[in-house]
């Protein structure tokens, strides 16, 4: 049979529809999650520290009840130490610290030798370039406008120093430095991507390899193709074989990933042993989930696993863009899919953070692993009980020969 004979069949062209659906999903997944990342009103969390009862209280009113209210999700902090704690726990991406003696400093601007009043913006580079840069930009924009408005009021009530026109000086102070060899703070995201892809690709390899050994699929390499009668093993035990191999491969793969990242590429790690243990869990989860889908729905399971783990998982992971900058549907994906939890955990294990998200991440990723396995074993057992054996009547006859 020639290729032209196959291509003349209208049925074969149904794959173009699959291509259109795949293109739609990929476009929505990757571009839909990142194209609209403009600063959304009242979503970027920024701490505000102000204990000055005079001019500072006026700024408070403008930030929490005035025009600046919608620029960010302002979080009131009593002290600079409290704001730094919020930054360490990733609850805010920046913090504005108003001097406690702001009123006195403003009054002194008319005296000779005076300087603009410094207002500190605490930033956290470990939160990632997008989160850190966006929060800094919002804080800078708000403070610039507050300084302009304050200067206009001062100029109207007094004359003298030109400093009164722009009395505030913005000083950005990072609360942490991004270590070398961490992709500018993006190491957690890329490390997570490596773990996800490792587990996913291992699942494809184990699925085809085990099926070839058991006789459920042909084994092909270069020009060689070999087949054999299927062995007498049901779906449940076939899945258990693949999951068992995945567990062993996860240990080896996680070890290799961390050794190469740390010893060869020089990536610093705050908690190396914990990162290794969690990496095993992450690789196993990213591998068992596709194996279950392949066992339950067949070849389309690989495509569905790709959509869940990669197409929607990567944009919603919070690694490149924080959830606050994403459309609502991708924020929901991030709450459900495992990649954001893996990203949160690896960030806490690689960088010196407060580690507040690690416990939740471990529980969520472990739940994905356990639930996937339980559903897979349950459905494959159901197939066997209801007579939906994986081998045909002809293949059963070959087993008895």
Ranges assigned E (strand) in 175-272: 219-221, 224-226
- Average pLDDT in the 113-118 region? 83
Q: Please tell me the distance from the alpha carbon of residue 253 to that of residue 248, in angstroms, as a whole number.
A: 9
Give the dihedral of Cα atoms 322, 197, 374, 364; nearest 10 deg.
-20
Tell me how many degrees the CA angle 309-313-316 measures, rounded to the nearest 5.
170
- pLDDT at 395 (0 to 100): 53
Residue (of 272, 260, 286, 249) closest to 365 by Cα position: 286
Name which of 54-63, 146-155, 156-165, 170-179 the model is least confident about. 156-165
- Angle at which helices 338-350 and 358-385 pack, to 10 degrees? 140
The length of the chain in residues reads 401
- pLDDT at 391 (0 to 100): 60
User: What is the distance in angstroms between the CA of the first residue and the CA of the last residue of the chain?
Assistant: 32
Query: Which residue ranges form the domains of the chain, and what is each CATH number?
Result: 45-174 (3.40.1710.10), 183-400 (no CATH)
Q: What does the pLDDT look like over 322-377, one tens digit per residue?
A: 888 888 888 899 999 999 999 999 999 999 887 788 999 999 999 999 999 999 99
Whole-prediction pTM value? Answer: 0.87
In 10 A of CB 154, how many CB atoms?
22
Q: What does the pLDDT look like over 272-324, one tens digit per residue?
A: 999 999 999 999 999 999 999 999 998 889 999 999 999 999 988 888 888 88
- Average pLDDT in the 149-164 region? 70
């Amino acid at each position: 049979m020639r290729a032209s004979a196959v291509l003349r069949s209208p049925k074969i062209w149904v794959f173009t529809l699959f291509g259109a659906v795949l293109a739609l999903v990929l476009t929505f997944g990757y571009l839909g999650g990142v194209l609209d990342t403009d600063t959304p009103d009242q979503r970027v969390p920024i701490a505000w520290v102000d204990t000055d009862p005079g001019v500072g209280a006026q700024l408070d009113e403008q930030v929490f009840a005035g025009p600046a209210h919608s620029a960010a999700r302002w979080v009131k902090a009593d002290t600079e130490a409290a704001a730094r704690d919020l930054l360490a726990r990733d609850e805010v991406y920046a913090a504005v610290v108003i001097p406690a003696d702001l009123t006195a400093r403003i009054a002194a601007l008319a005296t000779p030798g005076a300087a603009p009043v410094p207002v500190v913006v605490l930033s956290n580079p470990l939160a990632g370039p997008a989160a850190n840069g966006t929060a800094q930009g919002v804080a800078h924009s708000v403070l610039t406008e507050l300084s302009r408005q304050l200067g206009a009021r001062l100029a109207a009530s007094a004359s003298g120093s030109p400093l009164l026109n722009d009395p505030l000086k913005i000083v950005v102070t990072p609360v942490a430095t991004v270590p070398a060899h961490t992709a500018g703070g993006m190491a957690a995201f890329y490390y997570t991507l490596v773990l996800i892809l490792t587990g996913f690709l291992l699942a494809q390899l184990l699925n085809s390899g085990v099926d070839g050994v058991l006789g459920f699929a042909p084994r092909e390499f270069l020009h060689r193709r070999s087949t054999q009668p299927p062995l007498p093993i049901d779906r449940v035990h076939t899945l258990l074989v693949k999951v068992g191999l995945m567990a062993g491969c996860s240990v080896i793969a996680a070890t290799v990933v961390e050794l190469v990242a740390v010893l060869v590429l020089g990536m610093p790690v705050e908690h190396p042993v914990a990162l290794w243990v969690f990496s095993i869990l992450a690789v196993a989860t990213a591998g068992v989930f596709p194996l279950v889908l392949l066992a339950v729905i067949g070849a389309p399971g690989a495509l569905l696993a790709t959509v869940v783990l990669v197409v929607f998982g990567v944009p919603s992971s919070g690694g490149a863009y924080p959830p606050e900058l994403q459309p609502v549907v991708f924020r929901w994906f991030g709450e459900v899919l495992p990649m954001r939890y893996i990203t949160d955990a690896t960030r806490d294990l690689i960088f010196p953070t407060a580690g507040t998200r690690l416990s939740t991440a471990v529980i969520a990723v472990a739940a994905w692993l356990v639930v996937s396995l339980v559903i897979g074993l349950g459905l494959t057992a159901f197939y066997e009980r209801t007579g939906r054996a994986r081998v045909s009547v002809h293949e059963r006859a070959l087993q008895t020969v």
